[in-house]
Every structure is written in C-alpha cells, then in structure tokens.
Structure 1
Amino acid sequence: MLPDLIMDRARKMNCFFLNRHRLDSCKPLIIEDFQVGLITPEVMRQLQEFPDVFVCSEASVQLHPSLNDYKTRSTAVEQVLNQLRKNDVFITLRGWRDECYEVRADISEPSLMRMERAATCLFGIRQFGVDINGYVNHPELGLSLWMQRRSQSKPRWGGKLDNVVGGGLSVGFTVEETAHKEAMEEAGIPEYILKNLQPVGNVMIFFESERGLSPNTEFVYDLEFPVDFVPENQDGEVESFHLVPIKDVLPIVLSDEFKTTSLPVVLDFLVRHGVIDTESDPELGLLSELLHIPLGYFYRRATLGAGPGVPPPPLLPPPLVACMQPAADAEPEDK
C-alpha cells in the first residue's frame, strides 16, 4: 500500500537516526566545546593512526590542542584526508571534489574549520544545502513538478532523478546566494523568474550509506515557473529535465530511481500542497516528524563525560523513539 511505502521511505532516509545501536556506537567530534560531528567505529580506527591531529578517547574525538584556529585545523585535517585518500581507505574519498564545506554546529554558528566535501560524511559533519521545488500550474496537466535526471558522471547518485535544482552550501556562499547560483548552473533559471523564489522552511534527515553519515539540513524554496519555461542545464551535471503531473510524482519519488536524500523535499512539498494528507497517509504526524529530525540534539555545545554524545531517548519526541530500530547495515547509496 502507498502509505506503507511512504513511511518505509521516510524511515530509510533516516536509517542512521532511527538505529539506536548504531548511534550509541559513535563518538562525538568536538571542536571548541561544540559537537560538530559523529565518528563511527570504522572511522575511529583510522583516526587513531594520526595522534598529532586527532585525540581519541572513550568519550569523544577531539582535535589536538595545538590545532587552535581555523587555518591550522583545516590544513592538518586535509593532510590526514590526503593520506587516507592515497591509501584508498574509504570509498567516499574516491569522489574527491576539490570543494570545501564549512564545519560548524549550526548555520548561525561561526565556522571552526573547512573540510573537503567528499570527506564530511566520514566525520558526520552537518551538511547544509538548498533545494528548489520548480512547479507549474499547467493548463492541461494541472499542478506539475519539474525534475532533473542527474548526469551519470556525478560522483554520488549518478543517473538518479532529483529535484529540479539542489546544491550544498560551499565555503563563501550564503543560503540565498547558493539558491541563485545553483538555479542558474543547474537549470538556467533567469533572474526575472528567480525574483519569485519563496522560502518555505527546511527539512532535516540523518541518513547513512556505505560512504558515511549524512546529517542533512536542506533549505527549501518553492518557485512557480512560467508554463512556457523549460529548464536548461549550464554546467554539464544534468542529463535531462522532465515535467511530471502531480498525480505521478509520488510513485516516482518513492521508487529506487529517485535520489534518497532529496525525497524529503518532495514529500514536504506534497504535504504542504495537500497531496499527502491524513486520508492518504494516516501516519501524517509521524511523517512530518521524520521530515524534521531534531539534529540540534547532536550538533550543539558539548557536555563531555556524558557518554557517546547521543542524547537519551526521553529527550526525543516519543513517536521517533518508538521508530528506533535495532542494528542494521548502512543503506546502499544506489538504492
């Protein structure tokens, strides 16, 4: 049944968050008294080989005290990552991007260092991005959503269907600047259309794949396209675009053809536009919570000595605690 599939996918995109055993096996990554990441046992074993950079203990992983500013931290960690990449230890480093993300507890907090984008999932670094729902009120098709098919050459999720525009916040760009930059690069959307860009909130998920952890916060925008506007890729990272009538959207995004970590953005759109309601999904309340995982419980000022840095179940909303599952393998990224 469709409601069961919706909830199954919502749990899948939060497979790390809902795996209590896996959560408890991780150690918090602490920088300047802020928890900025989570370290899995597999990554911990590798970091212990670099004691001049990482101080690993039963309670946490911290950077060496000599690394006390943005530049020294960024340089030292990059050297470790280059060594791990040379040794081909982690699959995610094969997709090295030469693009950095800021490392911080929240979007409003100062950046403590920067890190190669492909490596952030190894450290459970909080990732921020922008997604645009490009929709059309078509005279024949009715409400419809534009989707893109990602280029096969993309290092992650190559060939999958995706939101019409989406991208991560790179060093030096604000949320709004990223929205405009990605809209032009990915879909060739001109400024006269972008002036109608509407911020509608965010979605937050905590996913794990064989590449690592993805604690994602996506800032979401809705944008109505003129009926005669057709997106056109500018940077070679999109294979094609497709206009999908709203009645056909849900089966597509729930299939393995759609990028898992973009699914919450579309589900949020469908909830807000009444396509998913309590009749079509009796667990709508729980679905809404799974679209807005409380990442602030992990990424905040740290209290060392309080265990692995994961808050006890009573701090979480009761429906989410009830969803927590026993240990399971990370999701294959191509699923």
Structure 2
Amino acid sequence: MSAFRLHSVSGGGNNPTLYQQPLCEREFGVRAALLMSAGVPFGGSSSSSNSMNTSNGNSLNNSGNDINMRRGQVLEVRPYVIAKNFNNFVIDDRRVDAPLPDPLTISSSRMKQCKPFVIAGFQLGLITPEVEEVLKEYAQVFVIKDQCVTLVDTLNTYDSRTKAVAAVLKDMRSQDKFLTLRGWRDEFFEVRINTGKPSIMRMERAATCIFGIRQFGVDINGFVNHPEKGLCIWLQKRSDNKQRWPGMWDNMVSGGLSVGFSVSETAQKEANEEASIPEDMVKDLELVKTISIFFESERGLSPNTEFIHDLELPLNFIPRNQDGEVSEFQLLTAREALDMVLSPKFKTTSCPVALDFLIRRGVLTDEMEPELERVKQLLQIPLLDFYRKLDE
C-alpha cells in the first residue's frame, strides 16, 4: 500500500492535490501489528482506534486488546512487527513470520521507485515518483535526470539554495500541494548527511519529508526508581493542537534538531520547554546512543536519527509543560509503559526510543518477543549507506 496518492479535490479546479485523503500515520502501528502478528497481510483501515483509559498513571485498559504481560508468554502485539512498521519504507513484508533482509540495507520495492536527491556531490534525500511530478513544475530550480534529482547549476551556495527552495515551498504551500505543508512551523532544519558534516542548505521543517531529507532529533527517557513499584517511566500526551500525532502518547521529552542548536543544546532546551526540568537535574543527562529508522506516511518520508538520553529523576519531581505542546504527563510502571508503547495510542515513530529503553532495562525480554535480536537490528537502520558523499 503506497502512502503517496493523488486525489482530486471537489470544487478545486483541474489541479490534483497530494494527500487530500491521507493514510493515517497510526495505521502503521498496533492495529497493523495485531493483524500481521497473526500472519494476516495489512492493507490499511480507517476504523477508529481502541480507547485507552488511564487512572493516576497506574492502570491501562486496551479495550479488549489486552496484552499478556506475564513472563514466559509471547506478547499478543509483537514488538517485532511494530519495529517493521516504523521501518515500513525499507521493509516490504511486515508480517511476523517474514524474515528480514540479510544484510539489512535501505532497499525495498518502494525505494526502487524513487530517485536520489543530490546536491553538491552529497546524496541528501529521496524523491518519490509522485513528488517528482510536482517538481517538474519548478524547472527553474530542480533538474530531473534519469538517475537522480538535483538543483540547477547556478544554485551553488548555501544561501542561494536555501532562498530558491524556500520560494518553491512557499508556492507549493499556497497551492496546497502537500498535506505536510499545512503544518508549516517557520522552524528550519539543516540539510546534511550527518550532524558532523557540513550543511548544504536549510529547509522548513515541515517540508523535509517531501524530499526524504534525513532528520535528527533528541529524546529523553525520564525514569524513576520507585522504592515500591521499581522502575517507573514518565510519558507525555501530545497536545490535540499538534500538527502531527495530536493527542497521542509519547516519550517524556523529544524535539527536532533545529538550525543553530547542537544535540546537547537541543536536549537542554526541550527539557526545559516540554517538562520544566531544572538545570541542576539536566546536568545529569546521559547521552546513551543513537537509533535510526525509515518511516513513510501520508506526509512523506522520514529517515530519522534520534539521539537518546536517559535521565533519572527524583521521586518528588513532577514535569510541567511550558510550550503548550503537551496536554499531560503520566508516571507508569515499566510494565504499564510497555503496555502503552504497544497500544494504538502511542506515536509510531516514538516507539523505537521507548522499545530501546525497555530492552536495555530488561523489561522487554526474548521470552516476550522471540525475535528480540531482530527488533534491535531494526533500531539501527544503516542510513549512512545512502546518505553520504558520493565519492566516499
């Protein structure tokens, strides 16, 4: 099932608009996992998700889809399938009994339809056939070749590229070409193959998924070692006003790496804005690792790399949001947190961060998920195999 479609808009003239009937991002999550864990191919559904009730952060009810959390029994909702789903761009067969490609590479039937987006000798993104058709309208900026898409030769500096592409995006937005541009944020991401490499230009954050630009973010796993309940984890519920994944549960703190901020600066900024974590606690932030996934939704392509931080918090700390992007926080036991992560209410592209933490802490075991080693593989999609300087 392709996540990119052209749909005519009634009363909208002769020009079709991309993504007017979007495929729900969450359809790649638990409802798909429930079907494919049973070996049933998933083709999408518009049915409403099951409700999730929480009370004081201590109980969860998944409305008939209860997950068996007892040791020694395999989970009904398989983390292995969910891991395939948040890598749906690079995994063709996402059923539970389907093997992973060996070696695991950025290659799939969907990718073979796309062209690399190349600027100044760097392979920086991917252009789908549907996006390519739109770019043909902007020949003053984009050059469509047989093997790749690039920019015209005169756009040979950071500023000239940024300015020209911004003008195109402004026009696309005015014509409602892409659903993702409705979430315009006036926030810019650097376009580069890695955080340690030079930036080729900057681009509006909402537009990066149109071009398959690699995105970088930071995440903070806030946890408490409770004297009675053991390991407990803070989760946030996203505001209903968020452009993406509104009203869904998420990791305690997360945010994209914007222009002008380092990984450390972004983590500190987001910790303050999203959860009011004071400086004396933020200093204990531990950068643990990075994880990478490649997800496709109705909004476009998301090759994401997340810088994962762990932060142990005191028992008396209660996070409070300051930027209006979080509606509430809940402190859950580790088992309840796993239940939440495997529920339809959890943001699909945040699942890898939470699953990684639960694996590292021994909460999610190979008794619960026999394919645990493959889940770990799917947290490390080798994006550098594609996003690279072409002569390296």
TM-score by length of 2: 0.76
1:81-120 counterparts in 2 under 5 A?
81-120=169-208
Q: Are 1:37 and 1:123, in contact at CA under 8 Å, matched by a contact in 2? A: yes
SS of residue matched to 1:178:
helix
The residue that corresponds to 1:187 in the other structure is 275
2:286 and 2:120 map into 1 onto residues whose CA distance is 36
SS of residue matched to 2:109:
helix
How far 1:140 sits from its partner (Å)? 2.3
The yes-or-no answer on 1:222 pairing with 2:222 is no
From 224, 244, 260, give the equivalent of 1:172.
260
1:241-291 alpha-carbon deviations (Å, 9 max, x no partner): 000100111121111100111110010001111112222222111111101
Of 12-21 and 74-83, the range deviating more from structure 2: 12-21
1:2 and 1:293 map into 2 onto residues whose CA distance is 24
From 148, 160, 167, give the equivalent of 1:60.
148
1:174-221 alpha-carbon deviations (Å, 9 max, x no partner): 000000000000000001111111110011000000000000000000
1:226 and 1:4 map into 2 onto residues whose CA distance is 32
The yes-or-no answer on 1:265 pairing with 2:375 is no
1:149-191 alpha-carbon deviations (Å, 9 max, x no partner): 0100011111000001000000000000000000000000001
Q: Are 1:102 and 1:112, in contact at CA under 8 Å, matched by a contact in 2? A: yes
Aligned partner letter, 1:82: K
2:389 and 2:201 map into 1 onto residues whose CA distance is 16
The residue that corresponds to 1:286 in the other structure is 374
The yes-or-no answer on 1:11 pairing with 2:84 is yes
Aligned partner letter, 1:250: L
2:146 and 2:193 map into 1 onto residues whose CA distance is 21
1:159 and 1:70 map into 2 onto residues whose CA distance is 37
Give aligned pairs, total.
304
The residue that corresponds to 1:244 in the other structure is 332
The residue that corresponds to 2:43 in the other structure is none
How far 1:32 sits from its partner (Å)? 0.8
2:181 and 2:355 map into 1 onto residues whose CA distance is 30
1:77-118 alpha-carbon deviations (Å, 9 max, x no partner): 000001111111110000000000000011111000000000
The residue that corresponds to 1:207 in the other structure is 295
SS of residue matched to 1:125:
coil
1:42 and 1:82 map into 2 onto residues whose CA distance is 19
1:255 and 1:298 map into 2 onto residues whose CA distance is 32
How far 1:138 sits from its partner (Å)? 1.1
Aligned partner letter, 2:129: P
1:141 and 1:92 map into 2 onto residues whose CA distance is 41
Aligned partner letter, 2:280: Y
Of 178-187 and 193-202, the range deviating more from structure 2: 193-202
1:100-152 alpha-carbon deviations (Å, 9 max, x no partner): 00000111110000000000000000000000000000122210000000100
SS of residue matched to 2:165:
helix
1:293-308 counterparts in 2 under 5 A?
293-302=381-390
Q: Are 1:3 and 1:281, in contact at CA under 8 Å, matched by a contact in 2? A: no
From 348, 364, 370, give the equivalent of 1:276.
364
1:89 and 1:235 map into 2 onto residues whose CA distance is 29
From 150, 153, 158, give the equivalent of 2:246.
158
The yes-or-no answer on 1:44 pairing with 2:132 is yes
1:59 and 1:36 map into 2 onto residues whose CA distance is 14
1:39 and 1:273 map into 2 onto residues whose CA distance is 38
1:230 and 1:10 map into 2 onto residues whose CA distance is 31
1:222 and 1:98 map into 2 onto residues whose CA distance is 29
Greater share of helix: 1
1:4 and 1:244 map into 2 onto residues whose CA distance is 19
SS of residue matched to 1:239:
strand
Pairwise CA RMSD: 1.2
Q: Are 1:3 and 1:282, in contact at CA under 8 Å, matched by a contact in 2? A: no
Aligned partner letter, 2:234: W
Q: Are 2:78 and 2:369, in contact at CA under 8 Å, matched by a contact in 1? A: no
How far 1:9 sits from its partner (Å)? 0.6
2:334 and 2:307 map into 1 onto residues whose CA distance is 22
SS of residue matched to 1:48:
helix
How far 1:8 sits from its partner (Å)? 1.2
Q: Are 2:245 and 2:347, in contact at CA under 8 Å, matched by a contact in 1? A: yes
The residue that corresponds to 1:129 in the other structure is 217
